[in-house]
Chain A
Amino acid sequence: MDRNGASVRLALGAAVALPGAFLGLFFAYPLGSILARGLTGDGSVELRPGVLWFSVWQAGASTALTLALGLPLAWVVARFDFPGRALVRALVVVPFVLPTVVVATAFLTLLPEGQQRGILPILAAHVFFNVAIVVRIVGGYWARIHPRLWEAAATLGAGPASRLRTVTLPVLAPALAAAAALVFLFSFTSFGVVLILGGPTRSTLETEIYYQAARMFDLRAAAVLSLVQLGCVGAIVGVAGRLDRCVAGARMVAPESDVLVRAQGRQRVVVAGILGAAAVGLGAPLAALVERSLSAPGGYGLTFYRALGEETPALLVVPWRAALNSLAFAAVATGMALVVGGIVAAAVARSRATWLDQFAMLPLGASAVMLGYGFVIAFDDPPLDLRSSPLLVPVAQALVAVPFVVRILTSALRSIDERLRDAAAVLGASRARVIREIDLPLVLRSFGLAAGFAFAISLGDFGATVFVARSDWPTVPVAIFRFLGRPGAENAGEAAALSVVLMTMTMAAMLAADRLGGGRRGL
């Protein structure tokens, strides 16, 4: 028995060593390089004023707006049964997985000339992205609250307004806080949206790191900014992680059939109104994007799509090569993220140490831009002169995707009833057999979801890729950014066309993942 135990431990050790080495080399080492660069060296660093303040208040405003606009939709999805409810739940997530560059391009085409850049477009884009978080987290929680809670309050004399104040909001509080923390985090670290929609004067910590490192070549200033960013993000991740556990701990599970009701009378109007507003708000930017990509100089047509196959001064290669690059890089990155994230998730799910959870969340907060910048300064000199290696792109993308993979798989593994494993053991299954018979089949669905997310994130990553992609190996988001940086309707049209291509690839990936994982359960 002891020999068995030892060999299991050995296998576990080997399994942990692989992601450990990967994260050590490609995450800790670049981060350490940033630290070293930021804490040493002499001369004062001149930072543009107002950057930190703008980062904080735009994130705060984005969060407040997202909650205000997302809650009605969360309420409708959580409590009402209507035709196409499952479709609505699925469609709401689409903006969340869309590449930032695509969304920024969409808002550029949607907004009237002269108002395309500034704070309002930034806030609108952040709401567009993050409504999914509010609907999924708050709505999911709302849908599990047993209606008897309201019924009990009603029999005790509480009217609708009083029920909202005394029952609904307090019960929802942990979910609201958790969703708010996540929206704040994503808005705080938002890069592509702020860079493209912010214009030359609006700068957050994230875009300022890019500006200092890639435009001013002031690596020291970028490192100092990165440290500030890391501190802020560490604090937000800490708070978010704590709030997240509150949500997971709550148990008021009611079957969906008990919670959902059909809207009646005036409610029908309200529900229809909210759904209609959501459809317009979430659909208009994407519709505008598609419309722009098709509106060629002489009427609607595929001119801009055809132009993707021709040489352009914006890029060193023909644009459609960028699509092939993106697919190849994303495939490799997804593989890496699943292996590393899968092993980390297995370790996290088995252990009770919460710091491991937080640690796995860190790359999420360390932000894509910081990773990309860390790569630039860490792998610039021998012996690790990898700057010219195209492999750095999928590695960077995998790192951005790993936290999502870990979160999805960890919660899937944790939700497996421990007694299922006991039941299998009692029926003769050894530890390895239990993993094969119970754990793997039950997380398969989530594995597909994780793969889809990893692929979509890798496809759409802009912050890290823009640092490490070679000019002769651009990805689609980088190519779109190059087109947007040049004047003229021709370039704008090709940017829109390329955005539609990227959007289609992303949605196809998510759909495929959903099929892959969902098929076998028959649910």
Chain B
Amino acid sequence: MLRVDNVSVAFDGCQALAGTRIEVAEGETLAVLGPSGSGKTTLLRVIAGLTRPDCGRVLLDGRDVTAVPAHARGIGLMFQDGVLFPHRDVAGNVEFGLRIAGVPREQRRRRVAEVLELVGLRGFEQRPVATLSGGEQQRVALSRALAPAPRALLLDEPLGSLDGPLRARLLDDLAEVFEAIGLTAVHVTHDVGEAFALGHRVAVMLEGRVVQCAPPDELWTRPRDEWTARFLGMTNVCELDGRRVVVRPEAVRLRRGDDVTVLSVERRGAVVHVRVRGDDGDEFEAVTTELDHPRAGGRVTIDIDPAGVVELEERPSPG
């Protein structure tokens, strides 16, 4: 439904996008995951029509829209930290796109109430935007983008400026809203958890290129190269029979024994990350949900489940 075909963009000699390709199906949410500076935001700006690519095409429903300016594309964009219009109240922000499109007043009012309801801000119409909390501002930004019923919605780190429980709650809400209206969306983030939570598929970006694009489970079980594996949080990269492999941490099993030394134990929510070092100096990370996990400084034995060993490709050195 939405296709970005071989797009390149350079700013002042710096290559932001280098032959980027992505494809999004109707009703699908594609999460674009990458470190800062990987070209994610530029990709969104190209799709939205705010940045003209140096070469390549953007196709919407098979139609080439590369030359169509932003205001005629009908694609919604939700900015990082909202970017609400400071001179308009909540309703004035949300109805903006409808007003531009010439929708009559009464219809606008109904639609504004509808989308505010959808994001859980019923009755916020008359509030000045300066009085809203960070989370509320993001919700208003979301409803402003949704109100004109765009063909597709682009989200640029929408949770970037939030933290803690607020972030988690808005994440849930976003997933729910997308599901409810069957939206086609491209969601840009540098947070692995966010990408996995929202994306039907996740496209991993590095230096202006899509390195790998797959559903979350597949991405986790088969990271293509070392960089991707490490970016997803896997640290057990080693040589095995002359091949470069990564061992997923859940495939490293701990049991009583005296083969390796426990370096550190760290609880992250429900799981506990245990770092061990063998007598040959190799380090491994394991995860366990056992409450009776080993302590730092102790000795244990590890088993490796062969199903969790993934062979890595040599990544072609970036241009």
Contact = CB atoms under 8 A, between A and B. Distances in A.
Interface of A: 1, 417, 419-420, 422-430, 433, 437-438, 441-442, 520-522
Q: Which of A424, A433, A441, A520 has the most CB of B within 10 A?
A: A424
B50 A428 contact: no
B128 A522 contact: yes
A92 to B, nearest CB: 26
22 contacts: A1-B69, A419-B83, A422-B48, A422-B70, A422-B83, A424-B85, A425-B70, A426-B49, A426-B70, A426-B145, A427-B76, A427-B144, A428-B71, A428-B74, A429-B71, A429-B96, A430-B69, A437-B96, A437-B100, A441-B87, A442-B86, A522-B128
B100 A427 contact: yes
A438 B148 CA distance: 19
Contacts of B252: none
Given A422-B50, A422-B70, A427-B96, A417 B83 contact: yes
Contacts of A430: 69, 71
Contacts of A426: 48-50, 70-71, 73, 75-77, 145
Nearest to B76: A426
Interface string B293-317: 0000000000000000000000000
Given A422-B50, A422-B70, A522-B128, A428 B87 contact: no
Interface in B29-80: 45, 48-50, 67, 69-77, 79
B50 A521 contact: no
Contacts of A521: 87
A425 B71 contact: yes
Nearest to B73: A426
Nearest to B68: A1
Given A427-B144, A428-B101, A522-B128, A420 B76 contact: no
Contacts of B144: 423, 427
B97 A428 contact: yes
B48 to A, nearest CB: 5
Contacts, number: 68
Contacts of B86: 442
Nearest to A521: B87
Given A420-B85, A442-B87, A521-B87, A425 B96 contact: no
A189 to B, nearest CB: 37
A416 to B, nearest CB: 10
Nearest to A423: B83
Interface string B272-303: 00000000000000000000000000000000
Contact of B97 (A419, A427, A522): A427
Given A423-B85, A438-B85, 19 more contacts: A1-B67, A420-B83, A420-B85, A422-B45, A422-B50, A422-B83, A425-B70, A426-B50, A426-B145, A427-B96, A427-B97, A427-B100, A427-B144, A428-B71, A428-B72, A428-B74, A428-B100, A429-B71, A430-B69
A413 to B, nearest CB: 14
Closest 7 interchain pairs by CB?
A427-B97, A425-B70, A428-B100, A426-B77, A419-B83, A441-B87, A425-B71
A426 B46 CA distance: 12
A424 B79 contact: no
A430 B71 CA distance: 6
B72 to A, nearest CB: 8
Interface residues of B, number: 27
Given A430-B71, A433-B100, A423 B79 contact: yes
A428 B244 CA distance: 50
A426 B146 CA distance: 12
Contacts of A425: 49-50, 69-71
Interface of B: 45, 48-50, 67, 69-77, 79, 83, 85-87, 96-97, 100-101, 128, 144-145, 148
Contacts of A423: 77, 79, 83, 85, 144
Provide the main secondary structure of the chain A interface. Answer: helix
A187 to B, nearest CB: 38
A425 B101 CA distance: 12
A439 to B, nearest CB: 11
B278 to A, nearest CB: 44
Contacts of B71: 425-430, 433
Nearest to A428: B100
B96 A419 contact: no
A428 B148 CA distance: 9
Contacts of A1: 67, 69
Nearest to A417: B83
Q: Which of B73, B97, B101 has the most CB of A within 10 A?
A: B97
A425 B79 CA distance: 13
A426 to B, nearest CB: 4
A1 B70 CA distance: 12
A161 to B, nearest CB: 39
A438 B128 CA distance: 16
Nearest to A434: B71
A180 B45 CA distance: 43
Contacts of B73: 426
A425 B87 CA distance: 17
A428 B83 CA distance: 16
Contacts of A442: 86-87
Contacts of B67: 1
A429 B96 CA distance: 9
Contact of A429 (B49, B74, B100): B100
A442 B145 CA distance: 21
A30 B90 CA distance: 52
A430 B48 CA distance: 14
Contacts of B97: 427-428
Contact of A427 (B50, B69, B87, B148): B148
Contacts of A433: 71, 100
Contacts of A428: 71-72, 74, 97, 100-101, 148
B49 to A, nearest CB: 8
A171 B49 CA distance: 41
Nearest to B95: A427
A430 B101 CA distance: 11
A520 B128 CA distance: 13
A424 B87 contact: no
A433 B50 CA distance: 16
B40 to A, nearest CB: 16
A522 B128 CA distance: 10
A433 B86 CA distance: 17
Contacts of B83: 417, 419-420, 422-423
A384 B66 CA distance: 54
Nearest to A442: B87
Contacts of B49: 425-426
Contacts of A420: 83, 85
Nearest to B81: A419
A346 to B, nearest CB: 18
Contact of B96 (A417, A422, A424, A522): A424
B24 to A, nearest CB: 17
Nearest to B85: A420
